[in-house]
A and B are shown apart, each in its own frame.
Chain A
Amino acid sequence: SLRCGTLALLPLFSHCLSSPTVLQCHHLRYPSRALTSSGVPGKAGSNLLLYLIVGGTVTGTGVYVYKTLRENKERFTSRVTTVTTRSQEKESSASASEARPEVPSHVPFLLIGGGTAAFAAARSIRARDPGARVLIVSEDPALPYMRPPLSKELWFSDDPHVTETLRFKQWNGKERSIYFQPPSFYVHARDLPFVENGGVAVLSGRKVVHMDVRGNTVKLNDGTQISYDKCLIATGGSPRNLPAIERAGKDVQQRLTLFRKIEDFRSLEKISRQVKSITIIGGGFLGSELACALGRRAQTRNLEVIQLFPENGNMGKVLPEYLSNWTTEKVRREGVNVMPNAVVKSVSVSGNRLVIKLKDGRKVETDHIVAAVGLEPNVELAKSAGLEVDSDFGGFRVNAELQARSNIWVAGDAACFYDIKLGRRRVEHHDHAVVSGRLAGENMTGAAKPYWHQSMFWSDLGPDVGYEAIGLVDSTLPTVGVFAKATAKDTPKSATEQSGTGIRSESETEAEASEVPISPSSSPTPQVPKEGEDYGKGVIFYLRDKVVVGIVLWNIFNRMPIARKIIKDGEEHADLNEVAKLFNIHED
């Protein structure tokens, strides 16, 4: 019948378009617990949903078709086998046609780098330019994937094969792979110029080593030359190393992980099951997340986890001091021996162990080191391409539209760009790679739009610390933090929490509570804030010249749009407590 099967995609449409579930169709948007850089699905999306609902029969058809498809499980299985044999056929027929070079000599869209920014750009180009042919050239052997789970979700997976599958559970409970798309999404590079509707091809394990901007060509490490019409540089960065470790020699280097890629995750996961002690050097996002992940593991096996860094507390460059200190205590509760104010002087091997000597004379003995001390943007191409490198932030210098030169854009970790609202900056976060990659793709297809939609970032450090942030979140800026306060009647509970143990006998809890001053009056009286105050939930504003330039949402979620709005407005607010009201911090 006419209806059966043909309108099968309408359920997909309504699934995609109804507001809360809109984000589940994302492959890039991770995690969906916050309305990340998803644009405004609400208004426009619900208009279309209205179309679908008004066309009542359509919805009915959708339901009918759904049922039909469910009955066709067998057809699904047989199609799976068909696809596999077909893809094998594709491969053999491709190799049979020797006429096609492995790598096309020209591509309209060339993306250098195969990470998040490049993938976002590829998707953007394909969406806007019908039949676009996009070639990604990536040094990494893996297809494009997302990095954040490598230091978070993958470590908490129950799956014993997680290092193979690289699948993780999202905030909404749904499982997915770290790869943005499975291999079937991509076309083979040799077929790219010929496939009817264009596509995205990935050339893995190849490096662009030379760029000729005048001739619009690049040269790969194997000598291959490719010319392009438009080019994106999304080369990301490489983990920095400590000079003390670089001086130390091979014995030390062999016991070192510079964490960035899938292979680093696999290697560290294996090492964590083999050694007795791991030391993480670095107190920022990556270092703290890995420390918590390993600390959690340490609780079920004989593993010591140490974290050392020069700052006074975890996330010391991001969070105001009181919050950084509070976070450090939380990281300690995850089983990590946190050593702040630690500067590495030298590292050597003694017996079969590493010995880290600190500048203050302390010594740390350990079996393996993970260095998470920053990222060096990959700007080697700047020389041959004649592109400017920014001296303040590093990275390729580009304008507000992410453009370096006429046909060259830069996105992601390697881009030092002009942010109209916040000034020139370089951002090393996942969502920024998505936002900037997408913008670059738009501009490569003629949009000429500046960086405008602020990207966000997030981190999770154990069960008590989860935050999302946006803008300039720099701890050297003056901050105003507004936190939800427990009232007197809640005190026994908060006292238990402050003591740090959730499981306590009732009598002990009572004893704790009586030590805390409780007002005899019936109306809830606020407590005088004191040391050890519980920063459970709240919002922190970062100010520059009295204007909010950064916001941290502390253990509260789904409020990113209002945070983004406040930064976009760039207004001076006389009373930030009034602004804080917009966040409903007392609700979940």
Chain B
Amino acid sequence: MSYCRQEGKDKIIFVTKEDHETPSSAELVADDPDDPYEEQGLILPNGDINWNCPCLGGMASGPCGEQFKSAFSCFHYSTEEIKGSDCVDQFRAMQECMQKYPDLYPQEDENEEEKSSKDLEATPVEDSVAKEEKGSS
């Protein structure tokens, strides 16, 4: 049984687990999956790729953004038996670009990367970060 108290304009209800076990009778409005205002996921209703999807992080917007978009688009629309096998050139171009920015595009398994960056603690990358930061003002 839930208990209730009123403090001025504020109502306070305490409920036990049992109180909340019965399904809710609250009604929610049905969502329109094609609502143009809504935040979209990775694939838009028309089948295009949403490059602005937060799920992509900085992939489509960084220095290798164009290569990434090119490779991923190719993959997305590829109708080959091995999907994406006709996109090798684009992937290669993307990988080559990403290798130039290892601090932006970690090339290894996440855990490995943590370990290796600890080893490389005083690496040129870390120092150049500090240097460039000072230099940029």
Point out residues on A near B: beta carbons under 8 Å: 2, 5-10, 13, 16-17, 22-29, 37-45, 47-48, 51, 54-55, 57-58, 66, 69-70, 73, 76-77, 79-81, 83-84, 86-88, 91, 122-128, 130-131, 141-143, 174-175, 181-185, 187, 197, 199-200, 202, 204-205, 320-322, 438, 441-442, 449-450, 452-453, 477-485, 487, 524, 526-529, 533, 565-566, 568-569, 571, 573, 575, 577-582, 584-586
Contact = CB atoms under 8 A, between A and B. Distances in A.
25 contacts: A5-B92, A13-B72, A23-B55, A39-B41, A41-B55, A44-B40, A45-B41, A48-B42, A73-B112, A76-B102, A76-B107, A79-B102, A86-B100, A181-B58, A185-B62, A204-B137, A321-B7, A438-B52, A438-B54, A453-B38, A484-B16, A487-B16, A529-B3, A533-B14, A577-B13
B132 to A, nearest CB: 4
B29 A187 contact: no
Which of B8, B84, B92 counts the most chain A CB atoms within 10 A? B84
Contacts of B41: 39-45
A485 B18 CA distance: 10
Contacts of B120: 77, 80
Chain B contact residues, majority secondary structure? loop
A25 B125 contact: no
A481 B82 contact: no
Interface in B13-71: 13-20, 22-29, 31, 33, 36-43, 50-63, 65-69, 71
Interface of B: 1-3, 5, 7-20, 22-29, 31, 33, 36-43, 50-63, 65-69, 71-72, 75-76, 82-84, 88, 91-92, 94-95, 98-104, 107-110, 112, 114, 116, 120, 123-125, 128-129, 132-133, 135-137
A128 B52 contact: yes
A529 B56 contact: no
B12 A529 contact: yes
B13 A579 contact: no
Contacts of A187: 63
A569 B135 CA distance: 50
Contact of A83 (B38, B60, B125): B125
A579 B125 CA distance: 51
A265 B127 CA distance: 22
Contacts of B3: 485, 526-529
Contact of A183 (B71, B83, B116, B133): B133
Contacts of B102: 76, 79-80, 83
A58 B109 contact: no
Q: Nearest 7 A-B pairs (CB), nearest first?
A: A44-B41, A126-B61, A39-B39, A141-B137, A485-B14, A183-B132, A25-B57
A58 B99 contact: no
Contacts of B82: 55, 57-58
B61 A123 contact: yes
B16 A524 contact: yes
A473 to B, nearest CB: 13
Given A7-B84, A58-B83, A453-B38, A29 B10 contact: no
Contact of B37 (A48, A199, A449, A527): A449
Contacts of A29: 54
A585 to B, nearest CB: 7
Nearest to A85: B124
B24 A40 contact: no
Given A17-B42, A40-B39, A320-B10, A586 B17 contact: yes
Nearest to A49: B42
Which of B68, B110, B132 counts the most chain A CB atoms within 10 A? B132
B66 A25 contact: no
A81 B124 contact: yes
A175 B115 CA distance: 12
B1 A526 contact: yes
Contacts of A43: 33, 41
B11 to A, nearest CB: 5
Nearest to A453: B39
A509 to B, nearest CB: 22
A571 B125 contact: no
B24 A579 contact: yes
Which of B11, B25, B36, B116 counts the most chain A CB atoms within 10 A? B11
Contacts of B63: 184-185, 187, 197, 199
B125 A84 contact: yes
Contacts of A487: 16-17
Nearest to A123: B61
A44 B42 contact: yes
Nearest to A441: B52
Nearest to A182: B103
A113 B51 CA distance: 24
A143 B84 contact: no
A571 B27 contact: yes
A322 B136 contact: no
Contact of B104 (A23, A66, A181, A322): A181
A524 B109 contact: no
A29 B55 CA distance: 9
Given A70-B112, A80-B120, A578-B24, A185 B56 contact: no
Nearest to A450: B37
A182 B104 contact: yes
B78 to A, nearest CB: 9
Contact of B136 (A25, A51, A57, A202): A202
B55 A38 contact: yes
Given A9-B71, A577-B13, 20 more contacts: A2-B88, A5-B92, A37-B54, A40-B41, A47-B42, A51-B76, A69-B109, A73-B112, A126-B62, A141-B136, A183-B133, A185-B63, A197-B67, A452-B37, A478-B9, A484-B17, A485-B15, A571-B27, A584-B20, A585-B15
A533 B15 CA distance: 13
A122 B55 contact: no
Contacts of B31: 565
Contact of B57 (A16, A130, A565): A16
B42 A45 contact: yes
Contact of A479 (B9, B25, B60, B92): B9
A130 B69 contact: yes
A33 B65 CA distance: 27
Nearest to A2: B88
A468 B92 CA distance: 43
Contacts of B108: 69-70, 73, 76
B20 A585 contact: yes
Contact of B95 (A9, A88, A181, A527): A9
A293 to B, nearest CB: 24
